[in-house]
Amino acid sequence: MTAAIRIENLGKRFRRYHADRPRTLKETLVSGWRPRGKGEEFWALRHVDLAVAAGEMVGIVGQNGAGKSTLLQLTGGVGTPDEGAVRVRGRIGALLDLGAGFSGDLTGRENVFVTGVAAGLTIREVRRRFERIVSFAELEDSIDNPVRTYSSGMQMRLGFSVAVHTDPEVLLVDEFLSVGDLAFQTKCLNRIREIKASGCAILLISHSPTQINELCDRAIWLKRGEVVVAGLPEVVTGQYEVEMRSETRRRTPHRPTTLAASGLKLEVNRNRFGSQEVEIVDVRLTPGEEIGQGEALVVAIEFNAPKAVRAPRFNVGISRAEDGFSCLDLNTEVIGDRAEVLGRGWATLSIKRLDLAAGRYYVNVGVFQSDWEYAYDYHWEVYPLRVEGGVSSKGVLGPPFRWDLEAHRALS
């Protein structure tokens, strides 16, 4: 089968500069705002080989700085390789930095046309898709407002919708599930599946092993710019998780079993992991541990950082109690990184409606280093949640629905 994406011995080199001391004003005026010295060369990617067939999805895992984004950028034609080659057949759609290409002074409508044409569509093709794009993004009431008035979530929804309605033959995706609430994320997942089924080749970066295992046909693990493991998703993500857990456990201080503020037991390296440089001291669920299907849920995390910690990321996940299946995974990356945290504070996630099927779940909370390399504090299967009401379902979601059945008597 002809590959839609073929990457051969790919290498990309950058230069890293080190500032050993601040410059004086005189030094700056004499030398200009140029970095001193030649700097240190490093390979962001090296010896990468990968082929992706039409209709195939390949997942990419690895720590920040491993080369994942560089790989997608080179595949999308951004930048030039220093070694090897990238060959792509067909129209490319990119979900890399959703909404980043929008002009704040233009309306949502105008940005749809500009972005659609930039992606290779004609004005007529954009016009034909316009209603579907706006409806998918759920922005009918604000599409004629300037994009600068949109929230980051609205911009990301519109960016995702434009990208997936350009009929791409190759799709490059970087952490698309930070878009919107649970219902919108499910819609995004279904759209990705539809695009894949149509024959689109997809490269997906994700820090969620569950997501990669569920969606992808194969996976690769990038480490310091090189592919260290490639194969079935479960094999690749399994080995990656082992190393990540090992790093977190190495940094986890050995402390006796403690009690959360709620009275639940926290046991190191069983249901609690992390260095505790930022410590989760309390977790509150509102309205409580039992919630009606479709009701709002607020998860409030109280934390304490005895010393300043730069740009931590807070994460809330919901897993099914019976099998640990990940139903929801949201983090603060979507609102941008805080410069640092120091002392006590709260990180609060508000979910407008939780459309999970009735059943038992756990709310898992964590605070991580900004590159996801390890956890400062992570509580796994500590905080129970029961969703009540609705009808029984074998699936994960329990959205509002209605059946209509119309029967016509057959003519004898």
Classify residue 14 by burial, with Cβ atoms within 10 Å: 0-12, 13-18, 19+: middle
Confidence class of residue 280 from pLDDT cuts 50, 70 and 90? very high
Share of the chain above pLDDT 70, in %: 84
Amino acid residing at 189:
L
Distance CA 100, CA 223 (A): 27
Report the chain's mean pLDDT, rounded to a whole number. 85
Amino acid residing at 119:
A
Confidence class of residue 26 from pLDDT cuts 50, 70 and 90? very low
- Sorted by where each begins, the domain ranges of the chain are 3-242, 253-388
What residues contact residue 240 under an 8 Å CB cut-off, 6+ apart? 61, 62, 209, 221, 229
Instruction: Indicate the length of the chain as a whole number.
Output: 412
- Do 3-242 and 253-388 have matching folds? no
Of the listed ranges 196-200, 252-256, 316-320, the one predicted with least confidence = 252-256
Of the listed ranges 29-33, 46-50, 138-142, 335-339, the one predicted with least confidence = 29-33
Residue where the block lists tokens 């005026």: 29
Task: Determine if the pTM surpasses 0.85.
Answer: no
pLDDT at position 138? 93
Highest-scoring range by mean pLDDT, 12-26, 324-338, 368-382: 368-382
pLDDT at position 181? 64
Kindly report, residue by residue over 266-275, the tens digit of the pLDDT.
877 678 888 8
User: Could you tell me which CATH number the domain at 253-388 has?
Assistant: 2.70.50.60
Distance CA 380, CA 270 (A): 8
Q: Hey, what CATH topology would domain 3-242 get?
A: Rossmann fold (3.40.50)
pLDDT at position 151? 85
* Helices 123-137, 152-164: inter-axial angle, 10-degree rounding: 130
Using DSSP's 3-state secondary structure scheme, residue 397 falls into: strand
23 vs 217: which has the higher pLDDT: 217
Query: CA 121 from chain center: how many Å?
Result: 27
Of the listed ranges 104-108, 206-210, 256-260, the one predicted with least confidence = 256-260
Residue where the block lists tokens 């034609």: 77
Question: 79: how many CB neighbours lie within 10 A of its CB?
Answer: 13
Q: Which two tokens stand for residue 75?
A: 């595949």
Classify residue 223 by burial, with Cβ atoms within 10 Å: 0-12, 13-18, 19+: middle
Distance CA 135, CA 137 (A): 5
Confidence class of residue 242 from pLDDT cuts 50, 70 and 90? confident
Using DSSP's 3-state secondary structure scheme, residue 32 falls into: coil
Consecutive H or E run containing 45? strand 40-53
Kindly report, residue by residue over 216-225, the tens digit of the pLDDT.
999 999 999 9
Q: For residue 90, how many C-alpha atoms fall within 13 Å in the half-sphere facing its CB?
A: 23
Consecutive H or E run containing 242? helix 233-251
Q: Cβ distance 380 to 273 under 8 Å?
A: yes
Q: Which residues of 262-274 are buried (b: 16+ CB within 10 A; e: fewer)?
A: eeeebebeebbbb
Alpha-carbon dihedral of residues 73, 81, 90, 158, nearest 10 degrees?
10
What is the average per-residue pLDDT within 209-217?
88
Classify residue 71 by burial, with Cβ atoms within 10 Å: 0-12, 13-18, 19+: buried
> First CA to last CA across the chain, in angstroms?
52
Smallest CA-to-CA distance from 216 within 205, 228, 227 is with 205
Whether pLDDT at 29 is above 70: no
Using DSSP's 3-state secondary structure scheme, residue 236 falls into: helix
Whether pLDDT at 257 is above 80: no
